[in-house]
Chains A and B, each alone.
Chain A
Amino acid sequence: MTAAWEEPIGYVLRASTTGFSVGTRVNQMGKPAFGSIVKAQPRGDEREWVYGLLYDMHIDDDPMVRQLVLADAVSEETIRDQHHHRIVPVEMNILAIGFRGYDEQIRHALPPRPPLSLDPVFLCNPDEIREIAASFDYFRIVLTTSQVSSEQLLAANLIMAAGTLPENEQYDFLVRAGREAARLLTNDMARLDSLLRLIYPA
């Protein structure tokens, strides 16, 4: 059985230096989640790997899906057909937070160029997540974005990142992350309060 990060979760549909959209099939939706760190990996050329946070997933309808929703007796085979074969358009949006350059170092900054259409997109493995979350420099990009509820996104990401650490390091990690967020949100106590409540250990 392959690990969640070994198979692509989708392919780049469109992109800019600030982020990219990923198209996927319904049956590949089980792995990625809101706040996941993903990477768009170029196909064998010299471009950078672009890292980002998954901030939105949406599923569009079409006339046939609307018909099925209204019908009373839709069979399991019909639903599986829709999920497996029909191009049910599932789209995920990614906020770019960094890239891995030629020197193999991860930089928490917008990438010099966007990924290309059809580049495969993978979930990051625990080592990569720890490597990215070792520095909180990407917080500023997340907290200044207007595309999404940034404290919700950052909190979801931090809880996932903490989960990759040994249990006795998780609390310290979240405390350090909270301090960095407090430094960046000194003028916005409401958002800081919301973020801290979201990452406070249950």
Chain B
Amino acid sequence: MVRKQFRSQQKGNPMTLELHKLTGQVEQMGQALANQDEDIEGKKAIALQILEAYADEAYLPHILERVQDAVDRDAGYRGARPFDEPIMKAFPPQPLPPSATIVAVDGSQILPDTHGAAVYYLLNIGTIILQHGSGEPPQIISQPYLFYETEYVYTGDRGMISATTIAARRTVAEMQALTEHGWRQRGEARPLLTLIDGPLLLFPMSVEIPDRDQLRGIYFSAMTRLLEIQAGLAGYVDRPSSRFVASMLHLLDTPPEEVSRRSLATNGRLEGITDIKVYDGLLQPAERTALFIQMSPQNKEFRRNGGETHEIVFFYMNVTAPDESPHLARVEIPMWVAQDRDLVATLQALIYHQCQQLMTRYPYVLTRADELAVVRSEETRQLNVMIQVAMTRYGLATEESAKQAGKNAARSSKTRFKVGGDK
């Protein structure tokens, strides 16, 4: 067996990472992570004490007052604000509807390569439309978009656009695809769940994104089109590391007179604990937490530009099967969905059902949308060949940079002489 492994390593490229030099560092890393874990358990106990202290519905006005006070003091509060439900209560889903329409979207990209024969980038959007309860195969769509014009691949000062810009354009393209296909399904079985992989809240559109205002506008108008057909829009975040509820508990743990930017810069004695750690063990399979609103500038902008209906609300839900360890995901929904609690509970049932299709406990439709969207390295290579052929046809030089050619030569597979040739 050892000899076989040795041979297979020899056949491929030589390994450059000297693993034996990492043994000590890996050991230290394991030790440090174990210590962190012990520390987190202690913090979880504190978080649960605070959660229990404010669990009663009667405390809701007080919590809202404390959050408003932090906002008024301009203390940089970025935590959660309860919507209208007790913060420790668990909410079961509705029974699974006999029929529903689910549209799920995911995207991927090929980033520009300055050393390639041509500078371009590609977005590929995968969509799956599943008629839940029909017994019919779903409809699947994979739509690539190639961008090569100067205004798309360069910034105003002729610099190459950043990966952040492409990620923002991809997010907006995903929302557009969700809207386009969701709109076409408006006459099909209800409820209509339109699901996206990741948060609904756009990440901060920094100045490095040249078309940020335009992208925001497209995103909000796509959401508005989904509102027009009363779609159950949701963003699904697996393994979230968010600390919005932990920040809220820290705020409640801080005396009102001490609330300031400095005291809220960290989560104090709860620093490091995530929301899913707080709720881990409090939710039965398929149950969700209370609804919360994230107090961030991005969400404020959603409310300002899209209106009250576009403000983003979130909850955590346990998507694990009975008798399995809890697996919590964060689900983001717009306010128009949050205001219809029956719709929330039905979406919860549909998302849970999707998560039961695979042992990974990740929604099947999102797994398939990802599979439809992903661009493999071999496909990138083939696309590059197609582009080179097209360029040659129009008399253009198609050489890679010397750097890329050198890398290709160094990284390519080795061949071994064999008597009689390769069989």
Chain A residues with CB under 8 Å of chain B are: 64, 67-68, 70-78, 80-81, 83-86
Which listed residue (A71, A76, A80, A84) contacts B356, Cβ 8 A?
A71
The A-contacting residues of B in range 55-79, CB under 8 angstroms, are: none
B165 interfacial by beta-carbon distance below 8 Å: no
With an 8 A cutoff between CB atoms, is B213 at the interface? no
Contact B135 A76 (CB under 8 A): yes
A81 to B131, CA, bound (A): 11
> Could you list 10 A-B pairs, sorted by A, with CB under 8 Å?
A67-B359, A67-B360, A71-B357, A72-B356, A75-B353, A77-B131, A77-B135, A77-B137, A78-B357, A85-B137
| In the complex, chain B residues 310-347 whose Cβ is within 8 Å of any chain A Cβ | 321
Q: With A64-B367, A72-B321, A76-B135 in contact, do A81 and B358 touch (Cβ < 8 Å)?
A: no
Least distance between A65 CB and chain B CB atoms (Å): 10
Residues of A within 8 A of B356 (CB): 71-73
Q: Chain B, 131-162, contact with A by CB distance < 8 Å: what is the 0/1 string?
A: 11111111010000000000000000000000
User: Which of A70, A71, A76 counts the most chain B CB atoms within 10 A?
Assistant: A71
For B136, list chain A residues within 8 Å (CB). Answer: 77, 80
Q: Which of B133, B137, B359, B360 contacts A81 (CB 8 A)?
A: B137
**In the complex, what's the smallest C-beta–C-beta distance from B301 to chain A, in angstroms?**
37
With contact pairs A73-B353, A75-B132 given, residues A64 and B138 touching in the complex (Cβ less than 8 Å): no
A64, A72, A77 pick with most chain B CB within 10 angstroms? A77
A82's closest neighbor in chain B, by CB?
B137
The total of chain B residues at the interface (CB under 8 A) is 22
* CA A73 to CA B131, docked complex, whole Å: 17
B212 part of interface (Cβ distance < 8 Å): no
Selected from B133, B140, B353, the residue in CB contact (under 8 A) with A85 is B140
Which residues of chain B from 106 to 135 have any CB-CB distance to chain A below 8 Å in the complex? 128, 130-135
Q: Mark B358-389, 1 if CB is under 8 A from A, else 0.
A: 11100010011001000000000000000000
Among B137, B138, B353, B357, contact of A68 (Cβ-Cβ < 8 Å)? B357
A-B contact count (CB 8 A): 51
Determine the distance from Cα of A201 to Cα of B212 in the docked complex, in whole angstroms: 78
In the A-B complex, the 9 residue pairs with the smallest Cβ-Cβ separation, listed nearest first, are: A80-B137, A84-B137, A73-B356, A76-B135, A67-B358, A70-B359, A67-B359, A81-B138, A78-B357
- In the bound complex, what is the Cα–Cα distance between A72 and B360 (angstroms)? 12
Task: Return the contact of B358 from the options A71, A83, A84 (Cβ within 8 A).
Answer: A71
Across the interface, A78 reaches (CB within 8 A) one of B133, B360, B364, namely B364
Q: Is the CB of A77 within 8 A of B140?
A: no
A26 CB → nearest B CB, Å = 11
A122 CB to nearest chain B CB (Å): 25
CB within 8 Å for A77 and B358 given contacts A64-B367, A72-B321: no
B137, A75: Cβ atoms under 8 Å? no
Chain A residues whose CB sits within 8 angstroms of the CB of B360 once the complex forms: 67
Evaluate contact between B359 and A77: CB separation under 8 angstroms.
Answer: no
Instruction: Select the residue from B130, B135, B364, B367 with max chain A CB neighbours within 10 A.
Output: B364
Residues of A within 8 A of B137 (CB): 77, 80-81, 83-85
Taking the nearest CB of chain B, how far is it from the CB of A55, in angstroms? 23
Measured CB to CB, the closest approach of chain B to A27, in angstroms, equals 9
B423 → A minimal CB distance (Å): 13
Measured CA separation A85–B127 after assembly (Å)? 13
CB contacts (< 8 Å) of A84 on chain B: these are 137
- How distant is the Cα of A71 from the Cα of B130 in the complex, in angstroms? 19
**Which chain B residue lies CB-closest to A66?**
B359
Q: Is the CB of A85 within 8 A of B358?
A: no
Residues of A within 8 A of B353 (CB): 73, 75
Bound-state CA distance A81–B133 (Å) is 13
Bound together, the chains give a CA A75 to CA B138 distance in angstroms of 12
Please give, as numbers and ranges, the residues of chain B lying within 8 Å of A73 by CB-CB distance. 321, 353, 356-357
Nearest chain B residue, comparing its CB with the CB of A27: B137
A74 contact set on B, CB distance < 8 A = 357
Residues of B within 8 A of A67 (CB): 358-360
With known contacts A71-B356, A71-B359, A72-B356, A77–B321 Cβ distance under 8 A = no
Query: For residue A70, which residues in chain B have a CB less than 8 angstroms away from its CB?
Result: 359
Chain A residues in 8 Å Cβ range of B358: 64, 67-68, 71
Given contacts A70-B359, A77-B130, A85-B140, 13 further A-B contacts (CB under 8 A): A67-B359, A68-B357, A72-B356, A73-B356, A73-B357, A77-B134, A77-B136, A78-B357, A80-B138, A81-B128, A81-B137, A81-B140, A86-B371
